[in-house]
Amino acid sequence: MGILEKIAEIEKEISRTQKNKATEYHLGLLKAKLAKYRAQLLEPSKSAGAKGEGFDVMKSGDARVALIGFPSVGKSTFLSLMTSTASEAASYEFTTLTCIPGVIEYKGANIQLLDLPGIIEGAAQGKGRGRQVIAVARTADVVIMMLDATKGEVQRTLLEKELESVGIRLNRTKPNIYFKPKKGGGLSYNSTVPLTHCSEKLVQLILHEYKIFNAEVLFREDSTPDEFIDVIVGNRVYMPCLYVYNKVDQISIEEVDRLARRPHSVVISCGMKLNLDYLLERLWEYLALICIYTKKRGERPDFNDAIIMRRGASVEHVCHRIHRTLASQFKYALVWGTSTKYSPQRVGLTHIMEHEDVIQIVKK
């Protein structure tokens, strides 16, 4: 029996098993087996077959955004509208056959936008170059999921299922579980909160499935068995995702209103160029980027050339971005902006910068 058949059989078993207190161990074991087989499926085959063509795109700009969606939902039209790159768009499916990069210039930042070929059902198993598409999506900072507003919720659920099965977790944070395999001493199990989904016996069964008999496990939040399996496997990617409903000019205003009120969703129309500016605002928010301006002593700040950093960056990060030797010669910095109590404030290397702050660095 091949891996695909085993996966299908376990999925059938999970769907027909009733979820209650008596079956939770059985379900936990099945989920662990399922995660194990899916991991095997993603590993490249050992046999030396012909080398497939990947979509290797050089990472450039300040952030990377991947466009994922079914064929003919308007990904290429969106890329052509947002960037100066022209991606071929036509009214038949699979117009785009490889990865086409473009650059969005917004608030002084260069955001790389990748137009990926359409995903079809079963992409995680390698159908329609699905594996390469998903591999590129794993390297992005944010995923934009393009959906056809006229098709309802079907596309969203199918795409989420495909990405879930290859270890991409959308709009979720990493589970707060401490897990460390040891050489000996058995299983040390503890939790700082009351657990409703997991128990010591279930944790032990899941670990045995992965041939782990000695480990330290500490639950700092009430996590599900699936989240615990993610922690054991350790190769999961947690990334923000924007659900973009295109072609809203073809549906009723009530339906547009319903879709727009859903969490993490934006409604647009590439054909009529509706709501694209709001989408850019939301994208900037999800990328968590900030602009920092520099200033020389006795001169006005340079507002034309911003340094683009991630939210939560400190003065030290800014020094490294300007020049790698600057942090070692650093004496103090003067900062104007929202991160200070008064302007200018004299700060050290650990001071956290905020959007549109101005910094003047004084060397020793």
CA distances from 304 to 62, 83, 112, 277 (A): 16, 21, 20, 21
- Give me the mean pLDDT over the 208-219 stretch: 86
Any domain includes 114: yes
Residue 245 has pLDDT above 80, yes or no: yes
- What's the pLDDT score for residue 92? 55
Please give the share of the chain, as a percent, with pLDDT higher than 70: 86
Same domain, 189 and 328: no
Residue 345 burial by Cβ neighbours in a 10 Å radius (0-12, 13-18, 19+): middle
- What's the pLDDT score for residue 47? 47
Least confident of 54-58, 99-103, 262-266: 54-58
40: containing domain: 3-44+175-233
User: What band does 95 get if pLDDT is binned at 50, 70 and 90?
Assistant: low
Task: Give the C-alpha separation, 10 to 6, whole Å.
Answer: 6
Same domain, 117 and 187: no
Same domain, 81 and 102: yes
The set of residues, in sequence order, having a beta carbon less than 8 Å from that of 256 and lying 6+ positions away, is 149, 248, 267
Number of H helices, E strands in the chain: 10, 16
Task: Give the C-alpha separation, 15 to 257, whole Å.
Answer: 33
- What's the pLDDT score for residue 254? 86
- What's the pLDDT score for residue 54? 56
Residue 51 has pLDDT above 70, yes or no: no
- Say which CATH number the domain at 319 has: 3.10.20.30
State the chain's mean pLDDT as an integer: 80
Asked if 353 and 309 count as a contact pair (C-beta separation under 8 A), the reply is yes
- What's the pLDDT score for residue 94? 58
User: What band does 49 get if pLDDT is binned at 50, 70 and 90?
Assistant: very low
Please give the share of the chain, as a percent, with pLDDT higher than 90: 3
Task: Please state the pTM of the whole predicted model.
Answer: 0.76
User: What band does 48 get if pLDDT is binned at 50, 70 and 90?
Assistant: very low
pLDDT tens per residue, range 112-167? 888 777 666 555 555 555 667 777 778 888 888 888 888 877 888 888 887 887 77
Any domain includes 55: no
Q: What's the structural domain count of the chain?
A: 3
Asked if 219 and 190 count as a contact pair (C-beta separation under 8 A), the reply is yes
Any domain includes 58: no
pLDDT tens per residue, range 310-347? 888 898 998 898 888 888 888 989 999 898 898 888 98
Any domain includes 340: yes
Task: Give the C-alpha separation, 265 to 245, whole Å.
Answer: 7
- What's the pLDDT score for residue 358? 92
